[in-house]
Structure 1
Amino acid sequence: MLFQISVGDSFSWLPDRKMNLFLVLVWCLCLVTGKSGFGGTDEKWGYAKVNEKAHMFWWLYYTTATSDYTQRPLVIWLQGGPGGSSTGIGNFLEIGPVDVTQQPREINWISYLNVLFVDNPVGTGFSYVENNDTAYFAKNNTAIAQNFLVFLQGFLNENSEFQKVPIYIFGQSYGGKMAVDIAWLINQESKAGNVNCNLKGIALGDSWISPIDSLISWPNYLYNLGFLDTEEFNTLKTVTDYIQEDVANGNFENATQYFHATQFIINKFTSVDYYNVMKEQNKVYNLRNSEWKENPEDVYVLKGIIPDDIFESLINIKQVLKSQDEDDHQTLYKLMNGPVKTALNISDILPIEWGEQSDMVFRAVDLDFMKPVTELVERLLNETDIEVSVYNGQLDLIVDTPGTVAWVNKLHWRYSETWKETERIPIVIDNIYEGYQKRYKNFNLYWVHRAGHSVPADNPHTMASILKQITHID
């Protein structure tokens, strides 16, 4: 390699034509693909070297809806975390053709359109950074988008039939936050002629767009559902007020620390599952010492802020609740590092276990984690033709619906006043009320009943209906 580029660097020093050539060269020299697949469908996958030490893994599923796959859109699925794997979690736990037990999924997205799972940012899932070199993990949304652009440029050159196919980026949780910056950069580079991409829309599912709007809604959400008493409500609100003040003052590192601490408080007070408040949590297991020792500062920041007796009980916590999701993830871990890795023939390429670097990915964005991307959502709505869709499960806590509606209602875009006056209409499927929708021009909002953080997994029928509406297919 002739250039050393850290993930925080900008490509602005490269003239447009040289930048385009650089991206293509990186891809062509480092691409590894396969076709046999896993799960009995027509697939393709590979690695793209997005900078000197960072390798991004992608996995494409061709749709089974038609013999000519170019007649259907391409959905790019981005998982959250950051550090959650699209090829693992999104694929086997949510929308892929088979589930984590390798059984066919009744409602899967490949039966409607093409799906491209990308392990993004680098270090996620099967993506990796050589030698755990922290300089090459993306530290903010800008760097994440730049790395993704390198990947996409190469993917569309290698698979040129998708250059004209309508593309929609679906981002769940933190994946939605990443999707906003990625969509903006793709739009700008498309105008400059640096990428041939027919990006039509982005869909933000239970997405971390305005973190503080989510957090400050937690106390009321939990209190109104009966998970907190008055004293517990006041304690939690005291901490979320601190976080709100830090965000307002630009102290994002402190805000991230308090965010982690807040989760320990909720674990102390409630039996709630962050990702679906109606899920049963009836198993208790010992907290691993290694987990606790890695982040003691996340709790110690609460000293003097919350009552002393509650602080002491947090310090001495020995057990935490366990949900069924954790069992699913253990099964997924074994699946990805066993049969999947073998079927994709990447064991000799991948120097780490699937998911091994996910914690490093998460910690790399500490300074960026609590920053909102609402202004960029506004720019997408005001300055581009990209359609922005937001959907949220009513049972999600981590990105609860009240928090999502709060940031949506504060958006300043060219049709915001008309959109607010637009009627909210029910989503009815098979005579069942499944939620509500509000749509005007290039902005859509969906409220989804009986679903938590992972809407496609919790309410697949309704999500399939929303998917077809967003991507404009029958």
Structure 2
Amino acid sequence: MARLASAPGWLFVLSAVLHRGLSSPLASKEAWGYVDVRAGAHMFWWLYYADSPSYQDLPLVLWLQGGPGGSGTGFGNFEEIGPLDRDLQPRKTSWVQAASVLFVDNPVGTGFSYTDSPDAYATDVATVASDMLVLLENFFTQRPEFQSIPFHIFSESYGGKMAAAISLELTKAVAQGKVKCRFVGVALGDSWISPLDSVMTWGPYLYTTSLLDDYGLADVNNAAQAVKQAVDQQQFAKATELWSVAETVIEQNTNGVNFYNILTQDPDEKLTSSAGESYISLQVRRHLHRLHGRSLSELMNGPIRKKLGIIPQNVTWGGQAEYVFSYMAGDFMKPVVDIVDQLLTAGVNVTVYNGQLDLIVDTMGQELWVKRLKWDGLSAFNQLKWTPVDDPVSRSITGAFYKTYKNFAFYWILKAGHMIPSDQGPMALQMLKMIIQQD
């Protein structure tokens, strides 16, 4: 039986959180709690009601972070789309302007979610989806006012892989009456849907953007071929390890390109692997540490932990992230393109959106797996020309392009990297509004 633990007086105005002497009132209501999704597996969620006179007139959006091991209640909330930024100042491009937003720290062990023992960590997306179904069933049962509101799942990076699997299981659960909600669509942002397509296009993408020379291109392509061979042989744990090797080859040939935005480079984030360091530890430093920066960790483990009031004493925000990543390593390089096909066939609205400057999940790779979909509307979709979208801040400048046909859409977000809401907040909010208007 799932357990719901909410803070006393869970509906209130956020006006008492103080950080570095800053006071940040928030007009919208919020709630949070834990759900025991399995024995020894405790999942944390945080809901912001839409900042509207009647939140029930606006949809509900579930946000899923990447990693695996990245915290939605932390990074997604305070760095991307939540009502307050990392300094607890109001965010002008917060998604609560257009929807109620539910952040969930998943898989278990992520963020404030935690496990009691190692055997409770998820090892594949099937378990991740099963856990989320328990949480969603509990959420909609406890809050029946959300059952008739359009429900969307938005995601980023590895969160997209999880979102696809969750969406398929949720579609089945709704049809069977196990979960009462009005699920209408999933949006896959810079998502790890077909890992090999990303890896195989790293070299060409970097070469065409003048970040590799001929020698570097050969090195990266050779490393990518090793990953492909492991995937072809169904050796997925080995493929994950070789994926890490390929990233190291890229760093060596590009003088430390930023995998999340090729036009930015932080000298302090350049990595050098130490002797004997495991590829898991290297990848945690390379990727998860970006989602658990020092200032964000101080915020989450300080004022936010105090505000929430229900975090167990032995739980540290982000403290189990490395274990989350390592236990999912064998599943990491497996594709879920077939799941996207099943969602489209089932009539679920599927949106793919990608940042122009993202490397780790480059747009070239996304387009490759999309063109291999078996969905019966693909031919007509491919024949469409894309439509430009003006930048919401500078109307004379193009902010994105998009195409949509039946229940599938693709958004090309310009001047954005892997974390689109962080890089191009106004455009991300505009995209959200366009997607939910299709309800």
Q: TM-score, normalised by structure 1?
A: 0.84
Using the alignment, how far apart are the partners of 1:139 and 1:82 within structure 2? 11
Cα distance change, pair 298–283 in 1 and its aligned pair in 2 (3 A): closer
Instruction: Give the conservation status (yes or no) of the 8 Å contact 1:62–1:115.
Output: yes
Instruction: Give the conservation status (yes or no) of the 8 Å contact 2:65–2:71.
Output: yes
Shift of 1:287: 5.3
2:278 corresponds to: 295
Shift of 1:412: 0.8
2:348 corresponds to: 386
Shift of 1:32: 3.0
The yes-or-no answer on 1:53 pairing with 2:79 is no
Amino acid at match of 1:278: L
Cα distance change, pair 185–342 in 1 and its aligned pair in 2 (3 A): same
Cα distance change, pair 336–296 in 1 and its aligned pair in 2 (3 A): closer
1:357 corresponds to: 320
Amino acid at match of 1:398: I
Deviations 1:146-168 (A, max 9, x none): 00000000011111100111000
Amino acid at match of 2:371: N
Residue 283 of structure 1 aligns to a residue whose secondary structure is helix
Shift of 1:180: 0.5
Shift of 1:282: 3.1
Matches within 5 A, 1:135-214: 135-214=119-198
Residue 45 of structure 2 aligns to a residue whose secondary structure is strand
2:20 corresponds to: none
Q: TM-score, normalised by structure 2?
A: 0.91
Cα distance change, pair 285–155 in 1 and its aligned pair in 2 (3 A): same
Amino acid at match of 1:394: Q
1:340 corresponds to: 304
Using the alignment, how far apart are the partners of 1:103 and 1:77 within structure 2? 21
Unaligned runs of 5+ in 2: 18-23
2:433 corresponds to: 468
2:232 corresponds to: 248
1:12 corresponds to: none
Match of 1:377 among 340, 343, 362: 340
Shift of 1:46: 0.3
Residue 293 of structure 2 aligns to a residue whose secondary structure is helix
Decide which moves more: 81-90 or 252-261: 252-261
Deviations 1:176-233 (A, max 9, x none): 1000110000111111111101110000000000000000000111111121121121
Residue 2 of structure 2 aligns to a residue whose secondary structure is helix
Using the alignment, how far apart are the partners of 1:328 and 1:134 within structure 2? 22
Instruction: Give the conservation status (yes or no) of the 8 Å contact 2:75–2:292.
Output: no
The yes-or-no answer on 1:427 pairing with 2:412 is no
Matches within 5 A, 1:197-346: 197-270=181-254, 271-283=256-268, 293-295=276-278, 326=290, 329-346=293-310
1:309 corresponds to: none
Amino acid at match of 1:339: P
Deviations 1:436-459 (A, max 9, x none): 111100000010100000111111
Shift of 1:267: 1.9
Decide which moves more: 241-250 or 199-208: 241-250
Using the alignment, how far apart are the partners of 1:236 and 1:287 within structure 2? 18
The yes-or-no answer on 1:85 pairing with 2:71 is yes
Match of 2:407 among 431, 438, 442: 442
Cα distance change, pair 297–185 in 1 and its aligned pair in 2 (3 A): closer
Decide which moves more: 256-265 or 373-382: 256-265
Shift of 1:31: 2.5
1:410 corresponds to: 372
Instruction: Give the conservation status (yes or no) of the 8 Å contact 1:126–1:350.
Output: no
Shift of 1:368: 0.7
Using the alignment, how far apart are the partners of 1:249 and 1:298 within structure 2? 25
Using the alignment, how far apart are the partners of 2:105 and 2:286 within structure 1? 28
Amino acid at match of 2:94: N
Using the alignment, how far apart are the partners of 2:292 and 2:127 within structure 1? 31
Decide which moves more: 267-276 or 171-180: 267-276
Cα distance change, pair 276–164 in 1 and its aligned pair in 2 (3 A): same
Cα distance change, pair 98–174 in 1 and its aligned pair in 2 (3 A): same
Q: Where in structure 1 do 4 or more consecutive aligned residues deviate above 6 Å?
A: none
Amino acid at match of 1:75: V
1:115 corresponds to: 101
Instruction: Give the conservation status (yes or no) of the 8 Å contact 1:123–1:129.
Output: yes
Using the alignment, how far apart are the partners of 2:376 and 2:29 within structure 1? 42
Q: How many percent of aligned residue pairs carry the same amino acid?
A: 39
Using the alignment, how far apart are the partners of 1:414 and 1:354 within structure 2? 44
Using the alignment, how far apart are the partners of 1:386 and 1:328 within structure 2? 33
Shift of 1:350: 4.7
Cα distance change, pair 168–99 in 1 and its aligned pair in 2 (3 A): same
2:358 corresponds to: 396
Using the alignment, how far apart are the partners of 1:469 and 1:191 within structure 2? 27
Shift of 1:288: 8.2
Q: Find the structure with the greater CA-based Rg.
A: 1
Cα distance change, pair 168–104 in 1 and its aligned pair in 2 (3 A): same
Using the alignment, how far apart are the partners of 2:89 and 2:419 within structure 1? 19
Shift of 1:124: 0.3
Match of 2:422 among 457, 462, 467: 457
Shift of 1:123: 0.3
Please report the RMSD computed on the Cα atoms of aligned residues, expressed in angstroms. Answer: 2.2
Matches within 5 A, 1:25-40: 25-27=1-3, 30-33=4-7, 34-36=10-12, 37=14, 40=26
Amino acid at match of 2:303: P
Instruction: Give the conservation status (yes or no) of the 8 Å contact 1:274–1:397.
Output: yes
Using the alignment, how far apart are the partners of 1:385 and 1:86 within structure 2? 27
Residue 410 of structure 2 aligns to a residue whose secondary structure is strand
Instruction: Give the conservation status (yes or no) of the 8 Å contact 2:70–2:291.
Output: no
Residue 42 of structure 2 aligns to a residue whose secondary structure is strand
Cα distance change, pair 46–420 in 1 and its aligned pair in 2 (3 A): same
Deviations 1:314-349 (A, max 9, x none): xxxxxx999xx95982110000000000011124x2
Using the alignment, how far apart are the partners of 2:92 and 2:280 within structure 1? 45
Shift of 1:366: 1.2
> Would you say how many aligned residue pairs link Structure 1 and Structure 2?
419
Shift of 1:35: 3.5
Amino acid at match of 2:76: G
Amino acid at match of 1:409: K
